[in-house]
C-alpha cells in the first residue's frame, strides 16, 4: 500500500476535538501545505501541540484566525501577537511549557514513557501545582508526556517507504512528533525511490510515518511561496 | 546606549575559553560573536545547531536560523539535531556557558528574564532550561533600566526564571561574581567610580580583593 497521498486526503483524518501535533520553529520546518489544506476543512475545538502558533496570519496563525483552535500547548506563543488577544478574550486556552520540557514530553510520549522528572522550572510560576521529588539531593518536578491523535510534520526528503531526512534547523520538533501521534503525515520537498537514502543518514525510520504528502508551499527569504 | 552594549559584549567575550561550548541568548549576547576570535569557542543554538557562525548576505538560508530566528552560518564540523536532543545537551550539563540577558538579578543570585507582571505571560522558550542546565551562567545587562529603576535588586519583583544562582553579571558599569553567599564586585568598567555602582545597585555586594588592591593604589 502506498503512503503517498494528497494533502486533502491527509487532512481528512483530522476530526473536531482532536489533539494535533504540528512541527516547526515558527514557520521554519512547519508543514505549511498541510496547515493550508486544513484551513479548508470544517473542524473545530482542536488542541494544537506546537512550539508556537505560527506567526500572525501565517502557518498555524491561519487556523487561529478561523477560530478552529480550542487550546495550544507550546513554549513561545509570543511570536504570534494575535495569540494574546484570543487568550484574553477567553477564546483560546494556553498551556505554557519550557521549550526543553515541551520537546522532552513529546519524546517521552513517543517512547512509551508516561512522564519524567526535570529540574527545569523548579521554584518558578510554571511549576505551580506540579508534583516535586527530591532525587540525590536535588529537587525535580514531574512533567507528563505529550501524545496526539494526528501529527503534521515536515522533512526535506522521504523515500516511498517513509524514511525521512531533514534539513538544517528545519528539523527542530519534527522527529519527535513523528513518534508521538496515532496518525503521522509528513510533508516533504522531495520524494525519492527506496534505496536512494543511505540507511546511515535516515533520521526518522519509516515505521513512524503513515502518509507522505508532496509540499506545495515553502519558506523562502521573501516569505511563504508556492512551489514553482 | 549602543556603545555600552558593545562594551558589555566585548567584556563577556573575554570569559569564553578555548573549546568551550557556549549558548547565547537574545539581546546583548547576540553582539558577542563580533568579539570572538576564530575557534575561540563553539556556539550552540537550542533550535538545533552546534557550530553557529555569522553569515554573509549571499549565504543566507531561511531554514538555517538561531533561536532568535535570525539567519546564521555553520562552521566546519557543525552538526544539526532535533530539539529534544538539543535540550538534553543543555539540561544534561553538556553546555559550558550560557550568556543571557535579564530583567532583574537579585541578592540570592536569582534571575528574572522571562515575564513581566501585568503583561501577557505567553512565552518562555528555552530560558528556564538554560538557566538550570548550563555549567556557568553569565548575565549581560545594562546596569539600570531605561527609566532608571534598578535591575540589580534585593529580591526580584518579576517572576524568577530559576532558583539556580547566576555565576557572573556583566553590566556597562561593573562585573560581579557569585562567591559562596552573595555577589562580589570584581571590576569597574571603563572610568566608572565605585560610588556610582553603589548608588545604582540595590543588592549588597562585597569588594573583590583585586579591586580593593587597584582602588587603594
The fraction of chain B above a pLDDT of 90, given in percent, is 90
Q: How many distinct structural domains can be found in chain B?
A: 1
> Which residues of B fall within a CB distance of 8 Å from A105?
none
> Which residues of B fall within a CB distance of 8 Å from A75?
123-126
ipTM of the complex: 0.97
pLDDT value at residue B217:
73
Min Cα–Cα distance to chain B from A108, Å = 10
Contact B132 A119 (CB under 8 A): yes
pLDDT digit string, tens, across residues A179-221: 999 999 999 999 999 999 999 999 999 999 999 999 999 999 9
Question: From A107, which residue of chain B is nearest by alpha-carbon distance?
Answer: B84
Task: Say if residue A14's pLDDT is above 50.
Answer: yes
Rg (CA), chain B: 17
Domain that holds residue B15: 4-216
**Model pTM score:** 0.96
Q: Which of A23, A58, A100 to mutate to test binding with chain B, by most B CBs within 10 Å of its CB? A: A100
Min Cα–Cα distance to chain B from A203, Å = 9
Task: Say if residue A31's pLDDT is above 90.
Answer: yes
| Residue (of A2, A1, A7) closest to A213 by Cα position | A7
Sorting pLDDT into bands at 50, 70 and 90, what band is B120?
confident
> Helices H, strands E: what count in chain A?
6, 13
Domain containing B142 — which CATH number? 3.40.1080.10
Q: H or E segment at B209? A: helix B209-216
Q: Which of B26, B55, B68, B83 to mutate to test binding with chain A, by most A CBs within 10 Å of its CB? A: B83
Strand order in the sheet with B20-24: B73-80, B49-53, B41-45, B20-24, B97-100, B136-140, B168-170, B174-179, B182-188, B205-207
Strands (E) in B150-189, as ranges, are 152-153, 168-170, 174-179, 182-188
pLDDT value at residue B1:
47
pLDDT value at residue B118:
84
Strand order in the sheet with A132-135: A115-118, A138-144, A132-135
Contact B48 A122 (CB under 8 A): no
Sorting pLDDT into bands at 50, 70 and 90, what band is B39?
confident
Grid cell at residue B166: 547566576
User: H helices within chain A, ranges in order?
Assistant: 7-11, 32-38, 60-65, 82-88, 99-110, 174-177
Min Cα–Cα distance to chain A from B87, Å = 5
Size of interface A-B (CB pairs under 8 A): 141
Question: From B50, which residue of chain A is nearest by alpha-carbon distance?
Answer: A169
pLDDT value at residue B18:
87
Contact B65 A28 (CB under 8 A): yes
Min Cα–Cα distance to chain A from B140, Å = 21
Q: Do A202 and B43 contact (CB within 8 A), yes or no?
A: no
- C-alpha angle with apex B95: B92 to B99, nearest 5 degrees? 125
Enumerate residues 6+ apart whose C-beta is below 8 A from A47: A18, A19, A20, A69, A70, A71, A72, A73
pLDDT digit string, tens, across residues A123-134: 999 999 999 999
Strands B205-207 and B182-188: parallel
| Residue (of B198, B210, B116, B209) closest to B159 by Cα position | B116
> Which residues of B fall within a CB distance of 8 Å from A29?
63
Enumerate residues 6+ apart whose C-beta is below 8 A from B185: B174, B175, B176, B194, B197, B205, B206, B207, B208, B211
Could you list the active site residues of B? Answer: 46
> Which residues of A fall within a CB distance of 8 Å from B63?
28-29, 167-170, 219
Q: H or E segment at A116? A: strand A115-118
Q: Which of B45, B87, B162 sits opposite A123 (nearest CB)?
A: B162
pLDDT digit string, tens, across residues B172-184: 999 999 999 999 9
What distance in Å separates the CA atoms of residue B152 and residue B159, rounded to the nearest whole number?
14
3-state secondary structure of B212: helix
Contact A124 B90 (CB under 8 A): no
Task: Say if residue B91's pLDDT is above 60.
Answer: yes
Q: Do A10 and A37 contact (CB within 8 A), yes or no?
A: yes
pLDDT digit string, tens, across residues A134-175: 999 999 999 999 999 999 999 999 999 999 999 999 999 999
Sorting pLDDT into bands at 50, 70 and 90, what band is B2?
low
Min Cα–Cα distance to chain A from B164, Å = 9
Q: Which of B46, B82, B92 to mutate to test binding with chain A, by most A CBs within 10 Å of its CB? A: B82
Contact B82 A175 (CB under 8 A): yes
State the average pLDDT for chain B.
Answer: 95
pLDDT digit string, tens, across residues B104-114: 999 999 999 99
Q: What is the CB neighbour count within 10 angstroms for residue A145?
A: 18
DSSP letter string over B21-74?
EEEE-SSGGGGGGGGPPTTSEEEEETTTEEEEE---GGG--TT-B-TTS-B-EE
In chain A, what are the domains?
A: 7-114+145-216 (3.40.1080.10)
Amino acid at each position: 500500500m502506498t503512503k503517498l497521498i494528497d494533502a486533502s486526503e491527509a487532512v481528512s483524518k483530522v476530526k473536531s476535538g482532536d489533539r494535533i501535533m504540528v512541527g516547526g520553529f515558527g514557520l521554519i520546518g512547519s508543514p505549511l501545505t498541510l496547515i493550508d489544506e486544513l484551513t479548508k476543512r470544517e473542524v473545530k475545538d482542536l488542541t494544537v501541540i506546537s512550539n508556537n502558533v505560527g506567526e500572525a496570519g501565517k502557518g498555524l496563525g491561519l487556523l487561529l484566525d478561523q477560530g478552529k483552535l480550542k487550546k495550544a500547548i507550546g513554549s513561545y506563543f509570543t511570536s504570534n501577537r494575535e495569540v494574546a488577544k484570543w487568550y484574553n478574550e477567553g477564546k483560546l486556552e494556553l498551556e505554557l511549557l519550557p521549550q526543553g520540557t515541551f520537546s522532552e514530553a513529546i519524546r517521552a510520549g513517543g517512547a512509551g514513557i508516561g512522564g519524567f522528572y526535570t529540574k527545569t522550572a523548579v521554584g518558578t510560576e510554571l511549576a505551580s501545582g506540579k508534583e516535586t521529588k527530591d532525587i540525590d539531593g536535588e529537587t525535580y518536578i514531574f512533567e507528563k508526556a505529550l501524545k496526539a491523535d494526528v501529527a503534521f510534520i515536515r522533512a526535506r526528503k522521504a523515500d516511498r517507504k517513509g524514511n525521512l531526512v531533514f534539513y538544517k534547523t528545519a528539523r527542530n520538533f519534527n522527529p519527535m512528533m513523528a513518534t508521538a501521534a496515532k496518525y503521522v503525515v509528513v510533508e516533504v520537498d522531495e520524494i525519492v525511490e527506496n534505496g536512494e537514502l543511505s540507511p546511515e543518514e535516515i533520521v526518522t525510520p519509516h515505521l513512524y510515518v503513515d502518509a507522505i504528502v508532496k509540499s506545495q508551499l515553502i519558506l523562502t527569504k521573501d516569505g511563504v511561496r508556492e512551489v514553482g | 546606549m549602543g556603545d555600552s552594549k558593545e562594551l558589555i559584549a566585548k567584556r563577556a567575550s573575554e570569559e569564553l575559553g578555548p573549546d568551550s561550548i557556549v549558548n547565547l541568548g537574545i539581546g546583548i549576547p547576540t553582539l558577542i560573536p563580533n568579539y570572538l576570535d576564530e575557534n575561540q569557542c563553539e556556539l550552540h543554538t537550542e533550535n538545533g545547531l552546534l557550530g553557529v557562525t555569522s553569515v554573509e548576505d549571499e549565504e543566507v538560508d531561511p531554514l538555517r536560523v538561531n533561536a532568535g530566528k535570525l539567519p546564521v552560518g555553520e562552521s566546519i564540523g557543525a552538526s544539526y539535531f532535533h530539539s529534544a536532543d538539543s535540550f538534553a545537551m543543555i539540561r544534561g550539563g553538556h553546555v559550558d556557558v550560557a550568556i543571557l540577558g535579564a530583567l532583574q538579578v537579585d541578592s540570592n543570585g536569582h534571575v528574572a528574564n522571562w515575564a513581566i507582571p501585568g503583561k501577557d505571560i505567553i512565552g518562555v522558550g528555552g530560558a528556564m532550561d538554560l538557566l538550570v542546565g548550563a555549567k556557568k551562567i553569565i548575565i549581560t545587562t545594562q546596569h539600570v533600566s531605561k527609566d532608571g529603576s534598578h535591575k540589580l535588586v534585593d529580591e526580584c519583583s518579576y517572576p524568577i526564571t530559576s532558583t539556580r544562582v547566576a555565576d557572573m553579571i556583566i553590566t556597562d558599569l561593573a562585573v560581579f561574581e557569585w562567591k559562596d553567599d552573595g555577589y562580589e564586585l570584581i571590576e569597574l568598567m571603563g572610568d566608572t567610580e565605585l560610588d556610582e555602582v553603589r548608588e545604582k545597585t540595590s543588592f549588597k555586594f562585597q569588594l573583590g580583593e583585586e579591586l580593593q588592591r587597584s582602588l587603594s593604589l
